[in-house]
Chain A
Amino acid sequence: MSSRADRIRIALSERFAPLSLEVMDDSHRHAGHAGARPEGETHYTVILVSPQFQGMNRVARSRAVHEALATEFANGLHALALTLRAPDELG
């Protein structure tokens, strides 16, 4: 069975055709907190650079990512730390 990190990578790659994409599982850092599950896979950091973010404000970018990961949110994904950039915003 694939990990949630793998599924997040696939879903975001298909949706955003990213120039770069990092997905990190931070669940171990939140063990015991509200929303954490014994089996982990609850807290992630995503750094995503995509031309599709051009012209979208911050809230719209995050909403697009949430939407792409709706299935994961419905199945125990609890927190996403998002850094979402268009290519000309790097640095």
Chain B
Amino acid sequence: MKPWGSPEQAGVGALPPNFSERPGDMTEPPVFDRIRTLVSGHDVVLFMKGDRHMPRCGFSNTVVQVLDVTGVDFVDVDVLADDEIREGIKAFTDWPTIPQLYVKGEFVGGCDIVREMYQTGELRDLLAQKGVPHAA
């Protein structure tokens, strides 16, 4: 794999990838546009292994259950069905693991963070604050 730190890309890898707003930025993998469209096109997007009906990883399953219990509508993206997204989402978020939860285009966290935020009530607070409908 060619490292991000090659001369023409110096420093780019150090930025949060979704920080860049420059259109047509040639240093950016094309998949970032697909991901940006996904996370900006839906209130809640979960990048997971498997789908909501058949999660193929315990961590992904936990987040699906949290979202179901919270009563929030979400879009599930199966990274196992799309290699480009599978690798791309790790670089886009600068986060090495799946699942990854986005709310209103912002990265919230992976399994541990989502579970903790559910337990403390922070997840409901976040959804309310961002105007995302969910069960009371």
Contact = CB atoms under 8 A, between A and B. Distances in A.
B58 to A, nearest CB: 8
Contacts of B56: 33-34
A81 B95 contact: no
Interface in A15-36: 30, 33-34
Contacts of B107: 59
B57 A33 contact: yes
A82 interface: yes
Q: How large is the interface on B (under 10, 10 to 19, 20 to 34, 35 or more residues)?
A: 10 to 19
Interface residue range, chain A: 10 to 19
A62 B94 CA distance: 11
Nearest to A81: B112
A4 to B, nearest CB: 15
A34 B109 CA distance: 21
Nearest to A73: B96
A72 B134 CA distance: 38
B57 A34 contact: yes
Interface string B95-116: 1110000000001111111001
Interface centre among B58, B97, B109 (most CB of A within 10 A): B97
B109 A62 contact: yes
The 9 closest A-B pairs by CB, nearest first: A58-B113, A73-B96, A82-B112, A66-B96, A59-B109, A81-B112, A79-B97, A58-B109, A34-B49
Interface of A: 30, 33-34, 58-59, 62-63, 66, 73, 78-83
21 contacts: A33-B56, A33-B57, A34-B49, A34-B56, A34-B57, A58-B116, A58-B117, A59-B107, A59-B108, A59-B109, A59-B113, A62-B109, A62-B110, A62-B112, A63-B95, A66-B96, A79-B59, A80-B97, A81-B59, A81-B111, A81-B112
